[in-house]
Chain A
Amino acid sequence: MNEENSYLVMENSLVSNLRPVQPNPDFIKNLGKRLLGSNNISIEGRNNGLAFVLISLGLFVGALLVWLFRKH
C-alpha cells in the first residue's frame, strides 16, 4: 500500500513537472520553409543513376585509351 502510494506521488510529480514546451515559432516557420523549399525527393535516386553512367563511361574511355596506346 505504501509502495503504491509512493508511485502515485511520483506520477503526480511527473505530470506536473514534465509539461510540453512551446518551440520558438520562428524556428518552426523557418524550418518548414527550408524543408519545403528544398529539392524534390526523387533527385537522390536520379543522381545515383547519373553517377553509374558517368563511371561506366569513364571506364570505357580509359580502356579504349589503353587499347589505343598498346596498338601503337
Chain B
Amino acid sequence: MGFNPIPPLKGFTLSEQLDDIQLIEDAGNGDNEAFGILYERYVRKIYNYIYYRTGNINEAEDLTAKVFHRAFRHIESYNQRGVPFSAWLYRIAHNLVANWYRDRSRKKEVSLDDQLPSSFHFDFPESSIEKSQESEKMMKAIRRLPPERQQLIILKFVEGLSNSEIGLIMRKSEGAIKSLYHRTLETLRKEIEKIDQPKKVK
C-alpha cells in the first residue's frame, strides 16, 4: 500500500491547495469559521478583479458580496479536482460581471467608456496630471477590449497571476493564454493609437 501524493496543480503551491481543501471541507460541513478564513484569504482579490472590470466602487462592493454569498450557499457543490478554489471564485465573479453588463446594456444607461475617467481613481504618490491622463487612456483602451481579453489583462496585471493560473480560471491551455495575451497587447496598442488620433488631428 503506497502513499499516493496529490499532484499540485500547476501554478498553485501544494500547501495552499491542501489548506484550502481542508477549509472547504470544514465549511461544507457547516463550519462558518473555516469559510471565514477562505473569505479573508480571497475577498480582496475578487474585489480588485470586479473593481477593474466594472470601474465602479459601489458595483464592486455589490458584486463582491454576491460572489461570496453564492460561494457560501454552494460550497458543498464545489469540486476541488482540477480547479483551485480561487479559480472557482473568479469564475463566479466573471459570470456575475457578465450578467451585470447584460443588464446595463438592456437599461441603456451611460456607457462605461464615458463613465471611466471619473470612476477610476488612482493613488500615485508621485501623481501628476500627465500620469493620471495616461492611466485614464489606458483604462479606456482596456475597456474597449472584448470581455475575455479584459479578464486576461486584469488577472495578469492586477492579480499578478501566471499564464497557467489564468488558464485554469478561463478554461484554456497555458499556450492558448500566451497567444491570447500577445493578440491582446496588439489590440490594446491599436486602441491606444485610436484614442490618441483625434488629439493629433486637432
When C-beta atoms are compared, the residue in chain A nearest to B154 turns out to be A18
Interface residue tally on B, bucketed by range: 35 or more
Task: Determine the chain B residues whose CB is within 8 A of the CB of A20 once the complex forms.
Answer: 44, 48, 158-159
Q: Are A36 and B60 in contact (CB under 8 A)?
A: no
- When chains A and B are docked, how far (Å) is the Cα of A22 from the Cα of B48? 8
**Taking the nearest CB of chain A, how far is it from the CB of B198, in angstroms?**
20
Which size class do A's interface residues fall under?
20 to 34
Kindly identify, within residues 13 to 72 of chain A, every residue whose CB is under 8 Å from any CB belonging to chain B: 13-15, 17-24, 27-28, 31-32, 34-36, 38, 40-42, 44
Interface residue SS majority, chain B: helix
Q: Are B48 and A21 in contact, with the CB atoms below 8 A?
A: yes
Give B3-42 interface residues, CB cut-off 8 Å to A. Answer: 27-28, 30, 32-33, 35-36, 39-40
Contact of B73 with A41 in the complex, beta carbons under 8 Å: yes
In contact, A32 and B157 (Cβ under 8 angstroms): no
List residues of chain A with CB under 8 Å of any chain B CB: 6-7, 10-11, 13-15, 17-24, 27-28, 31-32, 34-36, 38, 40-42, 44
